[in-house]
C-alpha cells in the first residue's frame, strides 16, 4: 500500500522524505490556506521534491473554469494529479483530462455509487473520506470495502485512496482491505511507529547492554 502525505507544508514533506514512507502528497484548499503559501508555488515545490503523485485541487465549480484550472495545475509538473470534486462538472473535467493522459484524483466521495461514477469517468484515484463519514454516524471503512468490491467486479483501474484518516486504525483497516493508497497527516504517520511494548522492550535491551560496559566496535 502506498502512503501519501496529507499536507501543503513544504517543510513537513522535506522532513519525512528520507524515511522512505512518502510515495506521494495530497493537498486541498484548506491545507493550502493553513500553510500560508502561494498555491502554485507550493505545488511546484512539492512536486519537485516528491517523485510520486502530488494532488492539487481545482476551486471553481463550473466545467469551463474548472478545466482551465486543471490545465494550469497539471502544467506545473508531470507528477501533478488534478483534484476535482465528485460533481457533474467535476466528473466531466475528470473525463476530459483523463483522456489527455492527465492524472485525476476525484475527491469528496461518500458513497459507492459515487465511486462507480468516478471509475467510469476515468479517475486515476478515488478519495473516500472515511473520517468525515464516521463523524456523521456512517462507516467510512465499510465504504472503502464496498468500493474495492465494486471496482474488482468490473476490473476498474481507478486506485482507492483512503482519505480523511483520523487515527492509525484507519490505516490498518485500509491495509487489511487492500486499499491502494492511504493519505496520512504527518502526526498520524508518526503515530504508526509507536507501540508501548516497543518502547518497553528497547528500554530493557539498552539497560542490559549498558551493564556490559561495552560499545559497538570496542570497550566503552
220 occurs within a structural domain: no
The CA distance from 85 to 94, in Å, is 9
Residue 102: the pLDDT is 98
Is 164 inside any structural domain? yes
In 50-90 the beta strands, taken as DSSP E runs, fall at 54-57, 80-85
pLDDT at res. 217: 83
Task: Give yes or no: 9 in active site.
Answer: no
**Residue tagged 473520506 (cell numbers):** 129
- Show the domain range for 106: 2-195
216 falls within a domain: no
Any domain includes 202: no
Percentage of the chain with pLDDT > 70?
99
In a domain, 211, yes or no: no
Least confident of 21-25, 81-85, 214-218: 214-218
* 191 vs 75: CA distance, rounded Å: 35
Q: Tell me the C-alpha distance between 189 and 193, whole Å.
A: 7
Q: What are phi and psi of 25, to 5 degrees?
A: -140, 140
How far apart, in whole angstroms, are the C-alpha atoms of residue 168 and residue 164? Answer: 12
Domain membership flag for residue 201: no
How does pLDDT run across 58-104, given as a tens digit for each residue? 999 999 999 999 999 999 999 999 999 999 999 999 999 999 999 99
Q: Of the listed 2, 9, 83, 120, which one is catalytic?
A: 83
- CATH for 96: 3.20.20.70
Put simply, whether the predicted model's pTM sits higher than 0.85 gets the answer yes
Amino acid at each position: 500500500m502506498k502512503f501519501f502525505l496529507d499536507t501543503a507544508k513544504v517543510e513537513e514533506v522535506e522532513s519525512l522524505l528520507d524515511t522512505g514512507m512518502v510515495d506521494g502528497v495530497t493537498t486541498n484548499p484548506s491545507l493550502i490556506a493553513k500553510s500560508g503559501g502561494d498555491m502554485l508555488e507550493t505545488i511546484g515545490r512539492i512536486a519537485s521534491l516528491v517523485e510520486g503523485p502530488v494532488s492539487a485541487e481545482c476551486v471553481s465549480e463550473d466545467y469551463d473554469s474548472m478545466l482551465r484550472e486543471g490545465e494550469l495545475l497539471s502544467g506545473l509538473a508531470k507528477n501533478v494529479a488534478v483534484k476535482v470534486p465528485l460533481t457533474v462538472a467535476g466528473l466531466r473535467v475528470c473525463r476530459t483530462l483523463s483522456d489527455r493522459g492527465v492524472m485525476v484524483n476525484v475527491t469528496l466521495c461518500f458513497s459507492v455509487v459515487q465511486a462507480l461514477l468516478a471509475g467510469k469517468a476515468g479517475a486515476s484515484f478515488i478519495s473516500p473520506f472515511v473520517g468525515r463519514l464516521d463523524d456523521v454516524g456512517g462507516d467510512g471503512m465499510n465504504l472503502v470495502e464496498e468500493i474495492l468490491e465494486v471496482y474488482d467486479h468490473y476490473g476498474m483501474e481507478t486506485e482507492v485512496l483512503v482519505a480523511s484518516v483520523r487515527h492509525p486504525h484507519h490505516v490498518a483497516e485500509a491495509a487489511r482491505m487492500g486499499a491502494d493508497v492511504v493519505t496520512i497527516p504527518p502526526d498520524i504517520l508518526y503515530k504508526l511507529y509507536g507501540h508501548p511494548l516497543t518502547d518497553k522492550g528497547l528500554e530493557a535491551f539498552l539497560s542490559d547492554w549498558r551493564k556490559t560496559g561495552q560499545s559497538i566496535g570496542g570497550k566503552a
